[in-house]
Amino acid sequence: MVTKSPYTLLARSSECKARRGEVATAHGVFQTPVFMPVGTQATVKAVTVENLKDIGAGIILGNTYHLFVRPGHRLIKEFGGLHNFMNWDGSILTDSGGFQIFSLKELAKISEDGAAFRSHLDGSRLFLRPEDAIEVQQALGSDIMMCLDTCIPYPTTREETVKSTALTGRWAQRCRSVHTVRDQLLFGIVQGGMYPELRKESAETMVDIGFDGYAIGGLSVGESKEQMHDMTEATIPHLPDDYAVYLMGVGTPEDLVEGVWRGVDMFDCVMPTRNARNGTLFTSTGKLVIKNARYREDKKPVDSNCSCYTCRNYSRAYLRHLFVSREILAYHLNTIHNLHYYVSLMSSIREAIENDRYSSFRNDFYGRLESK
């Protein structure tokens, strides 16, 4: 199937593989490199869609597995799809459900045909074939759908990795063959574990099938940072330069800076939202644990370099008080700040690439972290 790439390259670093571009979907154009806040259950936890727009998020992520088991894709389709259901008119990427199913471990069983698993809610038996993963995502109406893939735990033997990666390839072909809604994009996922030659093979398989974009899966699963960077570097040269590259489930601010350096365009991670609810806030000089006693009387904002709603209006002392008192507002204000930090980081990254000074941006980024 011949497709026109939804990705447009706007600028390229002369110092590394970093690149600045944009991706067009049925719900607009988002700028890359981009961070996608994770909205697991048709909500980015603790914030409204208005908050997300204020923060500057152009695309968010939905979890197919969670929406499939509750409230069900048919119900969401009756509401005109996920955009209408959750009142978000920006772009949405949905994962295939594979990662969550594999996280169920003893509750999941993989065969050639698909994944058998039990619902984490009521234990009911469910079966998801690659074709079903696409049907569910087409019902959700997401702008970017992901193929069902098999997740390879770390560590895994080469032999097992070969088998699992080959199955991901066959499932990708099956996903492609039932993809009928053309204004929904479909991305293929490269696996291959921690073996560079298997990463290359998997990338070539995906490119042969032909997708609207390519993801690097199976990283941030317990391997070292060095291995994660090595596998990213082992994959990207085998993907077409005129398509977006998405590094799945990664990661820390440092991971984003390093991923961009190596040519990644898209990222997602629960870290900013989950950490916000745990009271860990990201700042330009590193992490801040808001419950610490040292912030009890601190009148400063979380980060004096941050222009988010929380930092413009509230002190560390107030946020600490809310958090230790377990007030609901703590989750809301902390999440706004952390998402703003991630989204602004990506905006600064884009600007640095446009001005071809990504290398000095990266040095400054680490310099500020060490200055703490």
Residues within the interface to Zn ion (CB under 5 A): 306, 308, 310-311, 337
Residue 199 or 337: which CB sits closer to Zn ion?
A: 337
Nearest approach, Cβ of residue 308 and Zn ion (Å): 3
Q: Which is nearer to Zn ion, 202 or 310 (CB)?
A: 310
Task: Report whether 30 contacts 23 (CB < 8 A).
Answer: yes
Closest distance of CB 127 from Zn ion, Å: 44
Amino acid at 284: S
DSSP state of 15: S
CB-side neighbour CA atoms (13 Å) of 308: 31
Got the DSSP string for 216-272?
A: E-S-SSS--HHHHHHHHHHHGGGS-TTS-EEETT---HHHHHHHHHTT--EEE-SHH
Tell me how far apart the alpha carbons of residues 68 and 270 are, in angstroms, rounded to a whole number: 19
Q: Residue 177 or residue 304: which is nearer to Zn ion going by CB?
A: 304
Return the biggest CA–CA distance within the chain: 62
Task: Report the candidate in 234, 138, 245, 243 with the shortest Cα–Cα distance to residue 181.
Answer: 138
- The CB-of-209 to Zn ion minimum distance in angstroms stands at 42
95 a catalytic residue: yes
Sign of CA dihedral 202, 208, 209, 213: positive
In the complex, the smallest distance separating the C-beta of residue 119 from Zn ion, rounded to whole angstroms, is: 38
Residues 96 and 146 sit within 8 Å (Cβ to Cβ): yes
Angle 129-131-135 from CA coordinates, rounded to 5°: 115
Residue closer to Zn ion (CB basis): 219 or 302: 302
Identify the burial level of 218 via C-beta atoms within 10 angstroms of its C-beta, where 0-12 means exposed, 13-18 middle and 19 or more buried.
buried
Question: Could you give the CA distance from residue 269 to residue 248 in angstroms, rounded to a whole number?
Answer: 8
Nearer to Zn ion, 79 or 309 (CB): 309
Residue 122 appears among annotated catalytic residues = no
The least distance separating Zn ion from the CB of residue 307, rounded to whole angstroms, comes to 7
Q: Give the count of beta carbons closer than 10 Å to the beta carbon of residue 219.
A: 26
Write the CB contacts of 179 (distance below 8 Å, at least 6 apart in sequence).
134, 138, 145, 186
* Number of H-type helices and E-type strands within the chain: 15, 17
Minimum CB separation of residue 312 from Zn ion in Å reads 8
The active-site residue out of 149, 255, 268, 303 is 268
Element (DSSP H or E) covering residue 21: strand 19-25
User: Smaller CB distance to Zn ion: residue 152 or 306?
Assistant: 306
Residue positions annotated with a catalytic role: 95, 268
